[in-house]
Chain A
């Protein structure tokens, strides 16, 4: 008994001695961030995106933020300026206007936007135009296609960039607050997953089946985001034209309109955003593209 207590004390003492090791830490980190000269676009991004929205834009190629499975080329400086200015004008400010402050985008929008010069091409002939990763990052491709001519082409901007941006943003809103399960029931088991591009080869065929686009048919979440993005980025005339594409049917249109009611209700009740007001704002901005300065920082 006595012995064991003595040894126990000795053991504890030995532990104490071996445990304490005072190594002096250097106050300076050895990881020194390299300082890279700021150019006017860097300053613009800092003042307008980081300070206002807590969103950073990587317009210079950063390999670890890019998809290493593809051969990618960087975005050009001039196209990056245009897209950055347009991003604010057509991507963020409509939400600011509708919600009344920058807080909405600041809280929910992905924190990192990555620009890539051309699309990521697969060897099967398809290409990637935009990706979103876990509510953190949106990657936009084909940035170098943005020029003085395409920059004022509202349809080009919508198709190439802003449809993707609003689509991906909707996913993030859904991840924050799920949309009603009643939406899933509307098209039920007619979603086709990965074979969407071979199942529906035209918008008309997709509309006839109750999907706003072929991609919508891949799943309920994609369907929801596609409906939202098409609705707010297209004018009423353009949206109706889409619904009446060659091959579409009235039955299909009814299904889409039923879904649209759920999407609109969700945006209004959960996020307090009236999609018609948001659409009017975006359509108005698109109409004024010609007078929007895309190049001055």
Chain B
């Protein structure tokens, strides 16, 4: 009996020795190496565009306050110049890309263009006292290639896309600013569809609210680009095009491709 105990003991020792816990790696390099490579790649992609990027920035939980176009130019390994469609401010501050759950792009010193969205409401004057518009200054880099950079804002989880700025940045920026001002000028809007009209108002910032829904989008030189596909009175669309003034619509309007839905400014 006693012997059996020892036998079991020895057998168990062999079990320990027998188990080799090494598993074949799915990737050849270690996770840290791959993360470091991803950080280096993100940094290289960001600085690779001499004209910078157009950043489709959305603040707040669920991107609820609408979007703005930021014109972001990474001019050195630490310096970044930022302009935006909603303001004439042109400010240079610093950034870094560091490893976290992936490469993280952080605008780590104060920049007034991000500041308006990131500041507590007590400072920015928007929404509530503590959170404000809830804009992020740190972004997880989901994908970084020469034709686009896809970011996810760290606190709110909004999808933020950056596309390269085309040639003649000054002209491009100016058309975006004009487009934004055109959109922002009216007092309110309404949707016109074959089945009825819906009154819309500005609410917290630049987004439009009906009695039941919030519409979040950014203004482009050709019209409006919505954060998500939306359906109004059964008509589904993601973009609306700015149409010139007519006799019926002296201030112009935004329309879907089929022309079945109009977003009409009210002055």
Shortest Cβ distance from A120 into chain B, in angstroms? 8
Chain B residues whose CB sits within 8 angstroms of the CB of A62 once the complex forms: 108
Within 8 A of B (CB), among A74-107: 74-77, 79-80
Stretch of B118-126, B198-206, B253-261 that contacts chain A: B118-126
Shortest Cβ distance from B120 into A: residue: A121
B140-179 vs A, Cβ < 8 Å mask (1 yes, 0 no): 0000000000000010000000000000000000000000
Main secondary structure on B side of the interface with A:
mixed
Shortest Cβ distance from B117 into chain A, in angstroms? 9
| A18-B17, A77-B109, A118-B123 known; A39 vs B6 contact (CB < 8 Å) | no
Shortest Cβ distance from A81 into chain B, in angstroms? 11
Stretch of B49-57, B90-98, B210-218, B234-242 that contacts chain A: B90-98
Give the CA-CA distance A291 to B243 in the complex, in Å.
Answer: 61
Shortest Cβ distance from A191 into chain B, in angstroms? 29
Q: Is the CB of B118 within 8 A of A73?
A: yes
Shortest Cβ distance from A18 into B: residue: B17
Total count of chain B residues near the partner, CB < 8 A: 46
Q: Is the CB of B110 within 8 A of A32?
A: no
Within 8 A of B (CB), among A39-85: 39, 59-63, 70-77, 79-80
Contacts between chains A and B (CB distance < 8 A), count: 118
Shortest Cβ distance from B18 into A: residue: A18
Chain B CB within 8 A of A10 CB: yes
Q: Is the CB of B109 within 8 A of A71?
A: no
Chain B CB within 8 A of A130 CB: no
Stretch of B130-138, B221-229, B244-252 that contacts chain A: B130-138
Give the CA-CA distance A18 to B9 in the complex, in Å.
Answer: 13
Among B3, B109, B110, B131, the residue within 8 A (CB) of A3 is B3
Chain A CB within 8 A of B182 CB: no
| A36-B77, A60-B96, A62-B108 known; A71 vs B115 contact (CB < 8 Å) | no
Stretch of B31-39, B81-89, B184-192 that contacts chain A: B31-39
Shortest Cβ distance from B29 into A: residue: A30
Main secondary structure on A side of the interface with B:
loop
| A7-B6, A77-B110, A118-B119 known; A71 vs B17 contact (CB < 8 Å) | no
Q: Is the CB of B6 within 8 A of A34?
A: no
Give the CA-CA distance A281 to B93 in the complex, in Å.
Answer: 36
Size class of the A contact interface (CB-based, 8 Å) = 35 or more
Give the CA-CA distance A32 to B34 in the complex, in Å.
Answer: 12
Q: Is the CB of B122 within 8 A of A77?
A: no
| A71-B118, A71-B119, A125-B129 known; A11 vs B13 contact (CB < 8 Å) | yes
Q: Is the CB of B10 within 8 A of A11?
A: yes
Q: Is the CB of B13 within 8 A of A15?
A: yes
Shortest Cβ distance from B249 into chain A, in angstroms? 41
Give the CA-CA distance A14 to B39 in the complex, in Å.
Answer: 46
Among B6, B93, B108, B138, the residue within 8 A (CB) of A11 is B6
Shortest Cβ distance from B22 into chain A, in angstroms? 9
B3-23 vs A, Cβ < 8 Å mask (1 yes, 0 no): 100110110011011000000
| A18-B13, A77-B94 known; A34 vs B129 contact (CB < 8 Å) | no
Give the CA-CA distance A77 to B94 in the complex, in Å.
Answer: 8
Chain B CB within 8 A of A117 CB: yes
Chain B CB within 8 A of A216 CB: no
Chain B CB within 8 A of A170 CB: no
Q: Is the CB of B32 within 8 A of A76?
A: no
Chain B CB within 8 A of A261 CB: no
Q: Is the CB of B132 within 8 A of A63?
A: no
Q: Is the CB of A117 within 8 A of B130?
A: no
Q: Is the CB of A30 within 8 A of B122?
A: no
Shortest Cβ distance from A44 into chain B, in angstroms? 15
Q: Is the CB of B108 within 8 A of A61?
A: yes
| A71-B120, A76-B93, A77-B93 known; A39 vs B78 contact (CB < 8 Å) | yes
Chain B residues whose CB sits within 8 angstroms of the CB of A118 once the complex forms: 119-120, 123
Shortest Cβ distance from A20 into chain B, in angstroms? 10
Among A17, A63, A117, the residue within 8 A (CB) of B115 is A117
Shortest Cβ distance from A46 into chain B, in angstroms? 16
Q: Is the CB of B94 within 8 A of A60?
A: yes
Q: Is the CB of A4 within 8 A of B2?
A: yes
Q: Is the CB of B109 within 8 A of A76?
A: yes
Chain B residues whose CB sits within 8 angstroms of the CB of A7 once the complex forms: 3, 6-7, 9-10
Chain B CB within 8 A of A164 CB: no
Chain B CB within 8 A of A127 CB: yes
25 A-B contacts (beta carbon < 8 Å)? A3-B6, A7-B7, A11-B6, A14-B10, A14-B14, A15-B13, A30-B32, A31-B32, A32-B36, A34-B96, A34-B97, A34-B98, A39-B94, A59-B109, A60-B96, A62-B108, A63-B138, A70-B120, A70-B130, A71-B130, A77-B109, A121-B123, A121-B129, A122-B130, A123-B129
Q: Which 5 A-B pairs have the closest CB atoms?
A: A7-B6, A18-B17, A14-B13, A76-B110, A60-B108
